[in-house]
Amino acid sequence: MFHVSNICRNYSFTSNIAVQVRNKAKTHWAKLKKKTSPKYKALNHFDDFYASVFGSKWEPMRQALLRGSKYVAVVNNYGDAEETIEYLTHRGAHCLKNLMKVQQEFHKEYSPKSADPPPINNTNKLQEYVNRVQSEDISSLYPEGADTPDRLSFKDKKPDGNERILHINKSDGEGKQGMNYPTSESQLDESRIIDPSMGMSSEVLYQYIPATKLKGMDEWIPESLHYSYYSTDKDFPLVIEPETEFQIPEHLKVYTYEMDSEYHKFPEPKRCKTGVFNYYPMDCGSVLAVLALCLSPGDRVLDLCAAPGGKSLVALQTLLPDIVVCNDTSISRHNRMERIFNDYLFDFKTSNKWRERVLTTRVDGRIYKDDQGFDKVLVDVPCTTDRLSVNEDENNVFRPDRVRERLKLPEMQSQLLTNALRLVRPGGAVVYSTCSLSPVQNDGVVHAALKRAFEEYGVLAAVKDLTIPMSALSSTLLLASGDIAPRYGQLVLPSVSANFGPSYLARLVRIK
């Protein structure tokens, strides 16, 4: 006969064992999840890709990306501006315009004048990486020792629903450039195409591909396609000129902490007497994208991918544009943009003046049309958002269900930039920006868009070299230089001492 006390002891002993086993399993599951989560995949991908491009300079950038980002404070001119400036100064922040002025004077007095540096050629390192990825793509579809092709052809759909043939070359990595290559000109290798409509009886399935590696080509995009957009072919007029107009507008007040400061974030903004917030915290790279527009009084400005609205807000804080058109296709992001404008622009909801000056639209930026044209166009495209990708799983572009979207990013980015070049008036400027370190999404997209705009629409644009004006920021943030500097734009590198970015921006001025 068992006593109740014995039963309780036995139950307690059994419960302890169960708890230990469950805890052990939970620990194992957590480690497993960490290794397979989107942010882990993103970091793994960047370790492979960026280490190939940036070499030893990638490691300090990696450390900075995994730390808390730094911000600047954009003072709201529609609130208590003077009080806000006094508050920020008291906290040890400095005016960005003053810092740039001091640095410019220092460069003029102490920097030795030297001959123009030789052109940067970072193509070889990237091409070697692209060739390796392309070889891995083809090898993944063919058993070891099989007769692998030099080119892999497969079907995909254009945004308009029409079919196109895409090629990946194993040997030279040059493939037919991207998504705009016409099907009529393709040399289709019929024996290599895997089409689900052929059914399981097709001999091609057994001849070339093991059953464990079977992939339907309507669902599969090779990793190497993402990198095929990086090209340096000079088969169109390419004009690169020094920029002379860049400066911070008089009424734009931006405050930041010094390098190596213990502060990297500002306190939460507070409401002013007018009901709006006193300043807007944001990455300095985002502010630079607006500065690169070189806004003038009376400008008609388009922010093609505007949400959540921070850059449009900075443009309005300059008090220069007559009209700012803020476009974004996402309903949720569009609503967030409206809330930000309401929080920072006095009487935004009820004033007709704002409704005439700030226009919001929800149109796909690739097909956006306008009869009047714009003086300035900002194209802050969707990208791999490197810092977010290595720190957050939510909404991460490296999620398994977003693979196709990630691999086709350069196509969408080049289409957005090409349309922006069509929308801007001759003499007007387009600024292209990302928050990625990827040369493919940065210089690669700029090159592809310049080429397409010229060949398909007769639009010629000059690249404005911002190296000299951006050098005034050397005491505030870290810009890529030397063998890792981009050719067409400026790249803000994450740094432990000044953890802004990553941000890339390129200024293009339409000639005709």
Task: Give CA 455 to chain center in angstroms.
Answer: 25
- In the prediction, which pLDDT does 105 show? 81
Q: What is the pLDDT of residue 6?
A: 53
How far from 477 is each of 156, 288, 311, 399, 439, CA to CA, in Å? 42, 11, 19, 31, 20
Token pair 């890529």 is found at 480
The three-state (H, E, C) secondary structure of 77-144, written as one string: CCCCHHHHHHHHHHCCCEEHHHHHHHHHHHHHHHCCCCCCCCCCCCHHHHHHHHHHHHHHHHHHHCCC
Measured CA to CA, the distance from residue 304 to residue 296 in angstroms comes to 19
Task: Dihedral sign for Cα 329, 335, 336, 339, please.
Answer: positive
User: In this structure, how many other beta carbons lie within 10 angstroms of the beta carbon of residue 55?
Assistant: 12
The b/e string for 286-325 (b: 16+ C-beta within 10 A; e otherwise) is: bbbbbbbbbbeeebbbbbbbbbbbbbbbbbbbbebbebbb
Distance CA 236, CA 177 (A): 15
- Contact assessment for residue 472 and residue 105, using Cβ atoms and an 8 Å cutoff: no
CA–CA separation, 313 vs 76, rounded Å? 9
The yes-or-no answer on residue 95 being catalytic is: no
Tokens of 367: 């097909």
pLDDT in tens, 22-64: 454 455 555 555 568 999 999 999 999 999 999 999 999 999 9
Residues 272, 284, 294, 435: which is the catalytic one? 435
Q: State phi, psi for 418 to the nearest 5 degrees.
A: -60, -45
What's the CA gap between 255 and 261, in Å, rounded? Answer: 13
Domain 62-120+235-510 belongs to what topology? Rossmann fold (3.40.50)
Residue 231: predicted pLDDT: 78
Decide: pTM greater than 0.75: yes
User: If DSSP codes are grouped into helix, strand and coil, which group holds residue 53?
Assistant: helix
How many Å from the N-terminal Cα to the C-terminal Cα in the chain? 99
| Strand bridging mode 358-361 / 239-242 | unpaired
Question: What DSSP string describes 408-428?
Answer: THHHHHHHHHHHHHHHEEEEE
Q: What is the pLDDT of residue 244?
A: 85
Q: Which residues pair with 168 in a beta bridge?
A: 152
What are φ and ψ of residue 20, in 5° steps? -65, -45
Q: Which among 133, 149, 141 has a CA at the least distance from the CA of 212?
A: 141
Residues of the chain with pLDDT under 50: 1-2, 4, 7-8, 11-15, 17-22, 24-25, 114-120, 171-194, 196-217
Among 144, 193, 189, 152, smallest CA distance to 169 is for: 152
Give yes or no for a contact between 84 and 344, defined as CB atoms under 8 angstroms apart: no
Sign of the dihedral through C-alpha 62, 65, 66, 71: positive
Domain locations in the chain as residue ranges: 1-36, 62-120+235-510, 123-227
